[in-house]
Amino acid sequence: MKKVKPALLKGFDQEFLPHEQLQFNALVELIRRNFERFGYLPIETPSAERIEVLTSKGGAEKEIYALSRLAAAEDDEAAAKGALRFDLTVPLARYVAMRERELAFPFRRYQIQRVWRGENPQVKRGRFREFYQCDIDVIGRETLSYLAEAEIPSVIYAVFKEMAIGAFRIRINNRKVLKGILRHFEVSEERSADVLRALDKIDKEDQGAVIAELERNGLAARAARELYAVIGTKRETNETLALLGDRGYAAEGLGELRQMVEAIRLFGVPDGAFAIDLSVVRGLDYYTGTIYETTLLDHPDIGSICSGGRYDDLASYFTNTKLPGVGISIGLSRLFARLKDANLLPKTVRTPAEVLVTTLDPDSLERYLRVAALLREQDINTEVYLERAKIGKQFEYANKKGFRVAITAGADEFSRGTVKVKDLAAQAESDVPLAELAARVKQLLDSKAH
């Protein structure tokens, strides 16, 4: 028979071996646990939405994958009008507009799902066409306190502190401050977007290139250098606040920023873990207040691992109700790929059932199964080797799959009411009475470092 090559589509190819999947799942659970700790509610939305919903805000058309029927006589609604979501924010806006009356506001939701974007995948750099996002948003009805913005860094802090992937900094800026600075430098409204785009490259390009781009956008040579120095110089948070005050930039935004810094401290985020950073620019139109990026101090090359900001109106394309909000997103597929490259992934078990009951004697099946049942009753996940095979092959399986404990027994052991318990890493084996088995296995599993 002619074979089909078992291969994946480019960009749809972050697929894991089971032990990697367990590492990925552990990160998902860690993120979920921390989101839930702060009162965020889970939702999931369908993978495909109406195209008119996805494109309501505009700008994403080029990245969208639409659906069609491969071989059906007639298109159904999904094939005629549907496409895969490219982010979790547009579906959230549609969701809140649909269910406004049933939700309690401020609505805190988290969502951990895949999204699809027809971008050019650079697998080496951890970019995919199908990838996971982990989002939280807080949506107010009509109003939303700045405290919702101030709480966000404490959630980010909790997540990455528990993840233990090294020192990180939540970099915070404020769109109003940026606007005030541009006004001070007499950048016109029309040029603002281009100037911000130039400033957004400060971390990626060298000084000369950025200053040249600023000049091309109408700034005099001296103003361009000055603006670069204001935005591009790294300072302590208090220094930045003082500078903005001394120079008289951005009066309104500055007050907000001061208040925000104070509140973030109250929310328990230590000064080393966050900083005001004027070079955080982000999305050009969407955000209206605080904006966030998060970087690993020892791995700046990974880029921002968690970003977002405050916006004025989530769902203006769907409803007249004003829904101000604030949210952040962790691009988990990319983060996972980069952490793996940098050897920073937390260690996890290689199989969720770490105990294997080997089966030497086919006539003792009932007794092997009773051993497994006894362990499972004590919440110890346990697998039984069910093929007929020599013990060497069974241990080969145990090692390849990554079990930590193997149990062996034959007629001899069973007649004495014992089994052999083998610590596979230490290669140490001992006879254990059945009555003590669960306790002994638990002790082995708990005591060993992963």
Q: What amino acid occupies position 413?
A: E
Among 27, 84, 155, 278, binds its own copies (CB under 8 A): 84
What size, in residues, is the chain? 450
The reply on whether position 288 binds its own copies by CB under 8 A is: no
Where does this chain touch its own copies (CB under 8 A) — which range of 89-97, 211-219, 249-257, 299-307?
89-97
Give the residue with the Cβ less far from its own copies, 242 or 365. 365
Among 192, 259, 319, 348, binds its own copies (CB under 8 A): 319
Q: Print the binding letters for residues 396-425 with its own copies: x by CB under 8 A, - otherwise.
A: -x--xx------------------------
The reply on whether position 298 binds its own copies by CB under 8 A is: no
Among 136, 148, 163, 231, binds its own copies (CB under 8 A): 148
β-strands 287-296, 307-311 pairing: antiparallel
Cα-flanking dihedrals φ and ψ of residue 392, to 5°?
A: -60, -40
Among 209, 220, 229, 266, binds its own copies (CB under 8 A): 266
Residues in 325-384 that interact with its own copies by CB under 8 A: 351-353, 356, 365-366, 369, 373, 376, 381-384
Give the residue with the Cβ less far from its own copies, 180 or 327. 327
Long-range contacts (CB closer than 8 Å, 24 or more residues apart) made by 194-202: 195/219, 196/281, 196/284, 197/281, 197/284, 199/227, 199/231, 199/279, 199/281, 200/281, 200/282, 202/228, 202/231, 202/232, 202/279
| Separation CA 187–CA 194 (nearest Å) | 10
Using DSSP's 3-state secondary structure scheme, residue 251 falls into helix
Residues in 36-75 that interact with its own copies by CB under 8 A: 36-53, 55-56, 61-72
| Separation CA 114–CA 330 (nearest Å) | 12
| Separation CA 305–CA 343 (nearest Å) | 16
Tell the smallest beta-carbon distance from residue 207 to its own copies (Å).
35
Nearest Cα to Cα of residue 110 among 43, 34, 159, 45: 43
Where does this chain touch its own copies (CB under 8 A) — which range of 146-154, 179-187, 242-250, 287-295?
146-154
Q: Print the binding letters for residues 187-206 with its own copies: x by CB under 8 A, - otherwise.
A: --------------------
| Separation CA 96–CA 139 (nearest Å) | 9
| Separation CA 349–CA 371 (nearest Å) | 22
Task: Kindly determine how many residues on this chain lie close enough to bind its own copies according to the rule CB under 8 A.
Answer: 115
Among 222, 388, 390, 450, binds its own copies (CB under 8 A): 388
Q: Print the binding letters for residues 150-179 with its own copies: x by CB under 8 A, - otherwise.
A: -x----------------------------
| Separation CA 311–CA 92 (nearest Å) | 14
Tell the smallest beta-carbon distance from residue 114 to its own copies (Å).
6
Tell me how many degrees the CA angle 267-273-274 measures, rounded to the nearest 5.
Answer: 75
Give the residue with the Cβ less far from its own copies, 17 or 164. 17
Q: Print the binding letters for residues 118-137 with its own copies: x by CB under 8 A, - otherwise.
A: x----------xx-------
What tokens were used for 193? 């977007």
Tell the smallest beta-carbon distance from residue 142 to its own copies (Å).
10
Helix (H) or strand (E) holding 31: helix 18-37
Tell the smallest beta-carbon distance from residue 225 to its own copies (Å).
39
The reply on whether position 268 binds its own copies by CB under 8 A is: yes
Residues in 93-112 that interact with its own copies by CB under 8 A: 93-95, 97-99, 102-106, 108-109
What tokens were used for 136? 């939280």
Residues in 245-264 that interact with its own copies by CB under 8 A: 263
Residue 320 CA, chain-centre distance (Å), reads 31
Nearest Cα to Cα of residue 338 among 117, 114, 122: 122
